[in-house]
Amino acid sequence: MNAVESTETLNAALVAGATEHRDPDWLVAQRTAALAQIDQLRVPKFHRFTYRDWNLLDHRLLWQASDPALAADIAQATDHGQLIQVGQTTVAVNLPQALQAQGVILTDLFTALTQYPELTKPYLNQIIPATEDKLAAYHVAYLNSGIFLYVPQNLVIDQPIEAHIVQDSTQDGPQVSHVLIVADRGSQFAFTQHLTTQGTRANLANNVVEIVANDNSRIKFASVDELGRDTLTYFNRRALVKHNAEVDWAVGLMNLGDTLGQFDTDLVGEGAQTDTKVVAITSQAQREGINTRITNRGKHTVGNILQRGVLLGTSELVFNGIGDIIHGAAGANAEQENRLLMMTPGTHGDANPILLIDENDVIAGHAASVGQVDQQQLYYLMSRGIDRKTAERLVIRGFLSAVLSAIPSKNVQQQLIKTIERNLQNG
């Protein structure tokens, strides 16, 4: 099969799959346009991290039902918004009647595309367009699951809205998931997601989050990522933050498999703000590369990055913190801190602060460190009768505490602490 025949075959299969799924015509057009661009686009660049041998493309648009029992251990909420999804199967949507009456929409993405096109079509794949790079184009072409959340104008929601996304690796097939969040003007809420894997099939995960924060909105996004050892993960999470709006990220990267990820916050409106907090633990021979970027476009915008990572076994972890202040963003403030702690000699870590400044009237700063665990600190703890494993866990907890204590959601804090303890025991 030559290249032309291969492209035509892939396109025919893609159209057939989208038609079978009854995708709207505009989405089918997006899919085929993205597929046509995949071979012409480059993969995203990660400073000091190579992944040339990673197979991040799986050209199959599969529609598979999953067993709801794979989510049996997730407690269903009754007092706040919650959506549980296993593979492509939405197991439960719990949204209090009061929120429904006020116009909140929480549903699976494909239902939203059909029932609420006026709220989804203008935003889906617009913040992260297919033309951006090869992995973005792949995502648009082969999207197969997702969640949509809309919060109306001036609505303040006190309880966090939860999403539990379970990758079904009892079956063979990629997870290409898209979370689209639209916050109307003046709305305030928290969204938390928990990503896990059931099963041991070697599968790809390509997960995207797009957040539209309209004027004066406030969004706190938190995630605990726990995808399995046999999952090869790429994620891209991006927010478009308008006038006087704020999006804060608090994320625990606890995947066990190789992971490539991007956080990107675009501060386009005057007075827009973001605070990005990331903790990561890598173990065994795992490799993980993370780009965390904040782009200050509007005047008097504020962006902060705080990242801490712990390396176990022979793993590799790279943090790239990127602060980009565009010409015209007078009065902008961009600060970042990236620190890595290597617990064993065979690990490899890089913490790279990157500042791109094209404006004079700004404040920008950075701090970065990569170092081995302090043996004297361990010996001190052990001299007090603490065994080495416990001493190491205490040192790691202390190292990560600067980020953990700054996470506003106590539930996310506790979930992260439990996950960290489990990873340290198994690392």
Mean predicted confidence (pLDDT) in 385-391: 93
pLDDT of the residue at 119:
98
Note whether 338 and 305 are within 8 A (CB).
yes
User: What is the pTM assigned to this prediction?
Assistant: 0.97
Instruction: Provide φ and ψ at 216, rounded to 5°.
Output: 65, 15
DSSP β-bridge partners for residue 261:
235, 290
DSSP β-bridge partners for residue 236:
208, 262
Report how far residue 352's alpha carbon sits from residue 87's, in angstroms, rounded to the nearest whole number: 35
DSSP state of 240: E
Share of the chain above pLDDT 70, in %: 99
pLDDT tens digits for 143-197?
A: 999 999 999 999 999 999 999 999 999 999 999 999 999 999 999 999 999 999 9
pLDDT of the residue at 202:
99
Instruction: Provide φ and ψ at 145, rounded to 5°.
Output: -165, 170
Mean predicted confidence (pLDDT) in 259-264: 99
Instruction: Report the range of poorest mean pLDDT among 178-187, 202-211, 403-412.
Output: 403-412
pLDDT at 39 over 90: yes
Residues whose CB is less than 8 angstroms from the CB of residue 340 and which lie 6 or more positions away in sequence, other chains included: 308, 309, 310, 311, 317, 319, 349, 350, 351, 369, 370, 371
Note whether 322 and 293 are within 8 A (CB).
yes
Note whether 283 and 255 are within 8 A (CB).
no
pLDDT band (50, 70, 90) for residue 1:
very low
pLDDT of the residue at 405:
85
pLDDT tens digits for 226-236?
A: 999 999 999 99
pLDDT of the residue at 5:
52
Q: What tokens appear for 250 in the block?
A: 């608090």
pLDDT of the residue at 177:
99
